[in-house]
Structure 1
Amino acid sequence: MRVLLVEDNADLAANVGDYLEAHQHTVDFAYDGPSGLAAAANGAFDVVILDRLLPGFDGATLCRRLRDEHGVTTPVLMLTALDTVANRVDGLAAGADDYLVKPFAMAELEARLKALNRRASGRIASGALRVADLEYDPRTCEARRAGQTLPLNPSTRRILEFLMRQTDRIVTRKELEYLLWGDEVPDGDVLRAHMHALRNVIDRPFPRKLLHTLRGTGYRLADLGDTADDGD
């Protein structure tokens, strides 16, 4: 793989670079937000490792601009020193595909990069996201399944994009609640109502279920070969 590492800690960057290069990967480096954005936007990388806190502007801003302004769909793994729901959701909502909390094992970092590289084959060349026959284009905010346009409101659209960027990963209820409302979650199980509405649109009219509920934990958007059901 050709990897771009955007990390302002020179010692950590050197250690990661040495490890990946010893495992037959090519690593390019950037040490702040502006240079990282320029490199990621102009280079042909398989994956990008992006620190959450950077000089110039932070990793979330870099990732969001990479997706929105440049249309780059290269998988991004974000490094974060804080393992909080808010910190993770901010990075993932900005367009990151995965996150890893510092300190981390180099072997896990490489394994996650390889997984991201494999998952990238599920993205359409146009920059849209795809899971099985479900497609969503963040640039046009249009969703389609089996060629049919899907009606989404702003909340279900945000949830769908977030879940599609995290394909196969279990996304917790807290992450989705923070995505929609930040720290001011409304009373009642409003999230369940949104998930019910999303399932009605993306699953109910089709024979195969893609949105899976893990009771007491969260949700997973994945092609597991299940037939559609009525679970929320």
Structure 2
Amino acid sequence: MKLLLIEDHANLAQNIFEYFEPKGYLLDWARNGLHGMELAKNQPYDLIILDVVMPKLDGFSVCNKIRNELALDTPIIFLTAKSQLVDKVTGLDLGGDDYLVKPFQLRELESRVKSVIRRYQKTESQSSLVIEDLTIDKDTRQVLRGNQALTLPPIAYKILCLLAANRHRITTFREIEDHIWGEDVPESSSLRTHVHTLRTAVDKPFKTALIHTVPRVGLKIGRDDKI
């Protein structure tokens, strides 16, 4: 497993290397956001560990560029001394997958790495998914409905990919929350807001809705007569 560590503190970076490398992980280190962007652009990684407060380019900006400019789905775990809920929500809304507050135990970081990659692998068995007239190209992060390109923010895109991967069954609300936030699920209205955003992009401009709610259970994707 190959990890990219983007962290400006050399001592912490060294500790992470000394912990992970004997366990068989391969790591690259970038000391600032610009270098991290360059590495992420030119090499494939299984996961990125990303500090928030850094010189030249902060972690939130790096995440935003990785998702929107480089169009990469590589899982991202934020490391930060900021423990405010607003900072955590900002990171996740930008496309981060988890958020670990400093100081932390290295074994907790390893546990988060394994958990995020497990969640990620559930939706990565196919690089392209087609449901009716909806096409998801994971290599380019492009979503089409018919010939129309759709613009989705990171969390709505994650929900769509999960629904598409589970298109033959109902995806429970709990599964969706676990996939997006892991153990740190925010207030109850957050998922509702992201599902509304997803429906606005995927269903609202079109005659036929593809995303359907199964009350008190979850969501399913497909034509209504196939639910």
Whether TM exceeds 0.5 here: the answer is: yes
Q: TM-score, normalised by structure 1?
A: 0.64
2:106 aligns with: 106
CA offsets 1:174-213 (integer angstroms, 9 cap, x no match) = 7839xxxxxxxxxxxx969959x78x966537xxx59868
What's the C-alpha RMSD, in Å, of the aligned pairs?
Answer: 4.4
1:176 aligns with: 190
Equivalent-residue separation in structure 2 for 1:18 and 1:11 (angstroms): 11
Q: Name the CA shift for 1:40/1:75 in 2 (closer, same or farther; >3 Å).
A: same
CA drift of 1:143 comes to 7.5
* Aligned residue identity for 1:123: E
CA offsets 1:116-158 (integer angstroms, 9 cap, x no match) = 22233213765x8x8x9998679777487xxx99xx9x9xx65
Q: Name the CA shift for 1:110/1:140 in 2 (closer, same or farther; >3 Å).
A: closer
Equivalent-residue separation in structure 2 for 1:77 and 1:6 (angstroms): 10
1:27 aligns with: 27
Equivalence map 1:72-151=2 (5 Å): 72-121=72-121, 122-123=123-124, 142=143
Equivalence map 1:159-170=2 (5 Å): 160-161=156-157, 167-169=178-180
Equivalent-residue separation in structure 1 for 2:194 and 2:3 (angstroms): 39
1:216 aligns with: none
CA drift of 1:65 comes to 0.6
* Aligned residue identity for 1:2: K
> Does 1:47 find its partner at 2:47?
yes
Q: TM-score, normalised by structure 2?
A: 0.65
> Does 1:59 find its partner at 2:53?
no
Gap regions ≥5 residues in structure 1: 178-189, 214-220, 223-232
State whether residues 136 and 161 of structure 1, in contact with CA within 8 Å, keep that contact through their aligned partners in structure 2.
no
Q: Name the CA shift for 1:30/1:212 in 2 (closer, same or farther; >3 Å).
A: farther
1:16 aligns with: 16
Q: Name the CA shift for 1:14/1:169 in 2 (closer, same or farther; >3 Å).
A: same
Equivalent-residue separation in structure 1 for 2:143 and 2:39 (angstroms): 29
Gap regions ≥5 residues in structure 2: 162-176, 204-208, 221-227
Specify the SS of the correspondent of 1:72.
Answer: coil
Equivalent-residue separation in structure 1 for 2:216 and 2:36 (angstroms): 34
Equivalent-residue separation in structure 2 for 1:62 and 1:91 (angstroms): 11
- Percent sequence identity is 32
Specify the SS of the correspondent of 2:179.
Answer: coil
Q: Name the CA shift for 1:34/1:210 in 2 (closer, same or farther; >3 Å).
A: farther
Which piece of structure 1 moves more, 158-167 or 18-27? 158-167
* Aligned residue identity for 2:124: R
CA offsets 1:88-120 (integer angstroms, 9 cap, x no match) = 111112211111111111111111112222233
Specify the SS of the correspondent of 2:212.
Answer: coil
1:204 aligns with: 212
